[in-house]
Amino acid sequence: MPTFRILSFVLALLAAASAWGASAVGEHKLRIVASNYPLAYFAERLAGPWATVTLPAPADVDPAYWRPDAKAVGAMQKADLILLNGADYEKWLAHVALPRLKLVDTSAGFRDRFIRIESAVVHSHGPAGQHSHEGTAFTTWLDFDQAAQQAEAVAKALIAKRPELKTAVLDGLKTLHADLAGLDSEVKRITAAKPGLPLMASHPVYQYLARRYALNLKSVHWEPGEMPPEKEWTGLDKTLARHPAKTMLWEARPAAAVADDLSARGIASAVFDPCANRPESGDFLAVMRQNVENLKTSFQRR
């Protein structure tokens, strides 16, 4: 057989093999369910076109207080991977039957560093009803080093499930780690400029953020869309007498009347969105970068 015909034959075989591989991957996309948006974002970046990532919690519900219905449980049972935040985030987990081999506890690697919350206040907001923050603090990803460890756990699970994707997943992990490291170093730089600066938080969800970046933070239990009762304002005034904060961190922009009353006390409102659910615009990285900018403004305030 002439040389050019042999070469053409080999190239044809390679093309066919490549097409088969792409088709096989396309026809068998990994089905991934994530219990919150940060994990969904990590999976989307790492798995790219080779996976369909689902976040079953409705857009108007905090995934930490969501409970899966039968349909959602059925979808999880059919998934290839079920990404869990851990740190007692999925309180529904003990009440549903899921294949253990599909569960990925992304915070297991730093379980010994979980923060325990004692004597938490029972309160309610949104359709999830009453709850308290007692137990284990679960917004683990607001420590960006911990977020990187959770992303790594997702990558390991993906590679274990699809070894042929190892190179692509590790390349994605490298850039994701770089983005998270950038956030981490920037927050460290900002907070180091004014160590011990008193801050308030509208909700007790910033425990890991405060620990990682040495924030001098005290929390109330206020909701962005609700005017706190008078006794809450009285309590805030007592706290400010010994903790003279000039900024209150919020999960979302507070109602104008609340922001105005805080401003009258010399307190500015700054949004630091945990981004537990999928944002209306942008993505996890964009939200976190805006959070960092808002924190920077708070530390520059006199």
> pLDDT tens for residues 130-186?
556 669 999 999 999 999 999 999 999 999 999 999 999 999 999 999 999 999 999
81-84 vs 268-271, strand pairing mode: unpaired
Rounded to an integer, the average pLDDT of 224-236 is 97
Q: Residue written as tokens 């869309």?
A: 225
In sequence order, what DSSP letters do the residues of 206-240 get, joined into one string?
Answer: -HHHHHHHT-EEEE----TTSPPPHHHHHHHHHHH
Separation in Å, CA 124 to CA 121, 129, 264: 10, 5, 27
213 confidence band (pLDDT: 50, 70, 90): very high
Instruction: Give per-residue pLDDT as tens, 186-207.
Output: 999 999 999 999 999 999 999 9
Q: Can you tell me the distance from the alpha carbon of 109 to that of 132, in angstroms, rounded to the nearest whole number?
A: 26
Bridge partners of 249? 201, 270
Q: Minimal CA–CA distance to 53: which of 157, 147, 126?
A: 157
Q: What is the pLDDT of residue 16?
A: 37
Q: What is the pLDDT of residue 118?
A: 79
Q: Which of 37, 134, 23, 156 is nearest to 88 (CA)?
A: 134
pLDDT average, residue stretch 263-274: 98
